[in-house]
Structures are given as C-alpha cells and as structure tokens.
Amino acid sequence: KNGITYVQKVNQFSDFSKEEFDNYFKKLLPISHDLKTKHVVPLKTHLDDNKIKPKEDVLSYPEHRDYREWDILLPPKDQGMCGSCWAFASVANYEALFAKKYAILPISFSEQQVVDCSSDNFGCDGGHPFLSFLYFLNNGVCFGDQYEYKAHDDFFCLSYRCGYKGRLKKIGNAYPYELIMALNEVGPITVNVGVSDEFVLYSGGIFEGPCSPELNHSVLLVGYGKVKKSLAFEDSHTNVDSNLIKKYKENIKENDDDFL
C-alpha cells in the first residue's frame, strides 16, 4: 500500500541491534582493483563473437530472464551466525553454472571449505567472493556432503578429506551495462550490493528502500524483469528468493567493477 512494493515482517533478526546485524551480515571486505584485473577475464573475451552485443543492443534481449524457473538452482541456503555471505554467493554461483554446463540437476558444493581454507579471506569475519573464485581456480571445491557447513570457523582446512573436487577454469567480469548480456549468455552472476538497515526485515517483493553507499553484502543475481526494471537475487541472509533494486540502469555506476 501507499506505493510500497516490498514486504517486511518479523524474522530472526528483528531483535538484533544494528551492531549485531552489521557484524554478521555486512561482511564484504574490499580488495584491490589491481588484484581483480590481474586474474579476471572480461565478458567479451569469454563469449563467441556472434554473442557479443554493443552497449546499445543489450536491450534486444528478452524482457524477462529468471533462472529460478530453470532446474539449475538449489533453494537459498542459510549462512547462520557467520559473516560468510561472500562464500555462499560464490558457491551458489559455481553450483548454478556447474548444473547449467553439464545439463544436470544442481549439486551442493561446500561453503565451509571456502570459509576454512580460503586463507586470503577471513572466515566468519568477512571476505570477498572474488577471493573465493581465486581459491576455486587453484584448489577446486568439495561437495557439500563431504565438507558440511557449520556456520563457524574451524582452525584447520580439511579439504584433503574430499574425493572429487569441482574445478574452475577462469574468472569472468561483467560491467553493469553487460549484466543483461552476461545473464543471458553465461548464467547467474555473483554481485555485491549495498544493504541498508531497512533490508533487515525484508520478506519479499521489489525492494525500493534506501541502499548503503558502501558495498557490504554478496548475493547471487539470477535474473531480471520488466516490472520496475527489477533484478532477481538469491540471498543467504534472508534465506529467500527476492526481487531487489529498482531502476538498475540508474542505480549502478558505469565503471563499477564489483560485478563478477
């Protein structure tokens, strides 16, 4: 009502103080631009020439794309009381692209392995999905049932116990105007967003509340739609599918490279 397009309700975070919520769920840590540019492959070099569209032709893609309608996504997982959104977003991205590539139902891979073993990140104290992807590139990632999630840090990395490990060949980067192209040609994408205090009670709908000026949370971008030009995400904090960010063309900066 009154023009509000999203729903808020009492949830497990309702009794949290601002400091408590920030400590658990705003744990995206910054990394250097030079580190990212050294290891990423631009989207246009990842695609065949006939799939690359100039900026002005991106809107020629379908008005709707939602990978929640495909069989490549697991239900959103719960990160628990651990600042590991970065691990969940990167693992969910790997799961979706793995299922899409091999045309199989999605398989769970291990967030706990990334929390314990990705030494460039800081476990439950925060991290960045790019560093998770860099870890996948060099070490592979275990199945979820081989290395189960505990929602806390372990003192030791136990990935040596795993049998098969999924592998990653390269890390791609899509600039904001390429998001629609990346979603159509590649699949779901890990993105970093600025979550405000109003998001604590988010339950559903298109979130048009204020955004934080700082990127502080990682989610999986799974689609877009023409309704208020919304983007669709899966989030390990709310543990729900959601439609967030109004008017994405106006809300993202042309040179913002915090899209993986």
Q: Which residues are catalytic?
A: 85, 217
- Calpha distance 41→93 (Å, rounded): 16
Question: Residue type at 94?
Answer: Y
Confirm if 123 and 153 have CB atoms less than 8 A apart.
yes
DSSP state of 109: B
Supply the angle between the helices 85-102 and 129-139 in degrees, to the nearest 10: 50
Classify residue 105 as exposed, middle or buried by CB count within 10 Å of its CB (0-12, 13-18, 19+).
exposed
Query: How far, in Å, are 32, 70, 108, 143, 188 from residue 132 at the CA level?
Result: 15, 25, 16, 15, 16
Report the C-alpha gap between 87 and 24 in whole angstroms.
13
Q: Tell me, what amino acid is at 237?
A: H
* Residue with token string 């139902």: 105
Instruction: Round to whole Å and give the CA distance between 260 and 218.
Output: 11
Residue 168 and residue 39: Cα distance in Å, rounded?
13
